[in-house]
Structure 1
Amino acid sequence: MHFHGTQVRQQAVTLLRAGARNADVARSLNVPKGTISYWKHVDRAKRGECPGRKAAPCPRCDGRPLDEAAYSYLLGLYLGDGHISHYSEHRAPNLMIACTDSWPGLMEACEKSMLAVFPGNSVCRVRRKGCHNVKVYSKHLPCLFPQHGPGKKHERRIALEPWQQDIVSARPWDFIRGLIHSDGCRITNWTVRTVNGERKRYEYPRYLFANKSADIRQLYTNALHQVGVEWTCLARNGEPFNVSVARKASVALMDEHVGPKY
């Protein structure tokens, strides 16, 4: 990443205040257009020229009501495929969920949940090869996702705060659906059995959830236990990894409340 000095930034701001176009300033100073746009936004914001939409108060800091169903789902997505980044002291941290292009419905659901949890904040999609990163910026992300921290999730402790556990306990299916939509899937397994001397192929559906973090797997299986879903844990390379739901009654429950990705 290339960092531009204060002098270059001030040159850009001076040209922008004089009415120069973003593209022309970017070209003349050899600075990415997006950087120029951001500098312009910060300068105008400091002068009160672009108030924009006012973000809603924080549920944790200000007591604003929280859409618990949307939050429980978004928490599941975050624990599976999300992370919080803070690239610059001038910008609010951002929550990013990686969503494959194969399931546009999942991407829509992710965006919808972000807008419900952070009303008034903008949500954007950043194109990547084969996927989009769905992002929301808010200085209150650490308030709502205190699990954020340095290092990979499976290398550090992941535990819910009491208020988070209350929400998950009240909305377990939303939490389960978020985890399945991030690190899970619904597949069709098959096996061959001999019946009356004849080998027959049988197919049956199964839900799998794969995560290296024992803490996150525990949160998932606790939620499954609460809603009456039976599960087993499968190992990979001798270590617990996959949580499998294969019993007919349990799969029927998962189909009713979760279903396959779309």
Structure 2
Amino acid sequence: MYDEQMRAFARDAMARGESLNSISKRLGMSRATLRDWRDRRGRPRYPNDCPRCADGKLDAASYAHLLGLYLGDGCLSKHRREVYALRIACDDAYPRLIDEAADAVLAVHPSRPVHRVQAVGYTSVVAYWKHWPCMFPQHGPGPKHHRRIELEGWQQEIVAEYPELFLRGLFNSDGCRVANWTTRTVAGHLKRYEYPRYMFSNESTDIMHLCQWSLDLLNIPWRMPRPNARSVARREAVTQLDTFIGPKS
């Protein structure tokens, strides 16, 4: 990674008409990097764009959505030169959710491209940045359910402002909208009734509590059929979730 001063030197040289080959040799960087900077000319630049440790701007609504996706199906992995990759694993059965995940990542970190890496049965939405640990301080070694997951104060404020988008991220990753059924005896006859409900499941007790907290913020009733699952089944509650989550597609 190169600092903004080095980028400025390279851009000034290109503006004066110096060849990429000459600049590459003089500044010790690849021509591919220079070509990328040249071709990206005219796009918005974010010289110091981390919202936490610098002066970058944060799309809080998109971040609330992305935080939910990260806690469900996301992870960070460290690469060379202190660069981290954010990966959101998305089931190929739901192309709309893949698009939404890519849009959320791009809105939070708009200065770099978002990649889609195909695997068996799923697509990883991937973006590289040195500052992903600033944005997701919950990052750590091992599975999330093996370590403490707590939101920092600034994250709590964002979730409290956009609980619908946070829940959308959680349910789009580790939740579903399903058709449930039950039977009742009516006038001596057994009748079957079907009704929709939302289910959210996660092995992390802390993430389960965050889901509960967000539902409580919206006064949405829930129950726990088992320790790692939360159900929303009342008709009015399902209708409310349908307004900002809905079936996967």
TM-score (norm 1): 0.79
Q: Does 1:105 align with 2:116?
A: no
Q: 1:215 aligns with which of 206, 213, 219?
A: 206
Alpha-carbon distance in 2 for matches of 1:205, 1:110: 25
Q: CA deviation at 1:55?
A: 4.9
Do the aligned partners of residues 175 and 45 (structure 1) sit closer, same or farther apart at CA in structure 2, a change above 3 Å counting?
farther
Q: Does 1:96 align with 2:87?
A: yes
C-alpha contact 2:46 2:56 (8 A) present in aligned 1: no
Alpha-carbon distance in 1 for matches of 2:142, 2:33: 38
Q: CA deviation at 1:130?
A: 1.1
What residue is the counterpart of 2:232 in the other structure? 245
What residue is the counterpart of 1:122 in the other structure? 113
Q: Does 1:78 align with 2:64?
A: no
Q: 1:259 aligns with which of 235, 246, 249?
A: 246
Q: Secondary structure at the match of 2:228?
A: strand
Q: Percent identity?
A: 47
C-alpha contact 1:72 1:175 (8 A) present in aligned 2: yes
CA RMSD of aligned residues (A): 1.9
Unmatched tracts of structure 2, length 5 or more = 1-20, 22-27
Alpha-carbon distance in 1 for matches of 2:56, 2:33: 29
C-alpha contact 1:44 1:50 (8 A) present in aligned 2: no
Q: Secondary structure at the match of 1:202?
A: strand
C-alpha contact 1:70 1:117 (8 A) present in aligned 2: yes
Amino acid at match of 2:146: E
Q: Does 1:173 align with 2:164?
A: yes
Do the aligned partners of residues 115 and 241 (structure 1) sit closer, same or farther apart at CA in structure 2, a change above 3 Å counting?
same
Alpha-carbon distance in 2 for matches of 1:156, 1:62: 28
Alpha-carbon distance in 1 for matches of 2:32, 2:245: 46
Q: 2:122 aligns with which of 127, 131, 140?
A: 131
Q: CA deviation at 1:63?
A: 2.6
TM-score (norm 2): 0.83
C-alpha contact 2:180 2:194 (8 A) present in aligned 1: yes
Amino acid at match of 2:89: A
Amino acid at match of 1:256: T
What residue is the counterpart of 1:228 in the other structure? 219
Amino acid at match of 1:253: Q
1:188-212, Cα deviation, whole Å (9 max, x unpaired)? 0011111001111100001000001
C-alpha contact 2:182 2:192 (8 A) present in aligned 1: yes
Number of residues of Structure 1 aligned to a counterpart in Structure 2:
217
Unmatched tracts of structure 1, length 5 or more = 1-18, 20-41
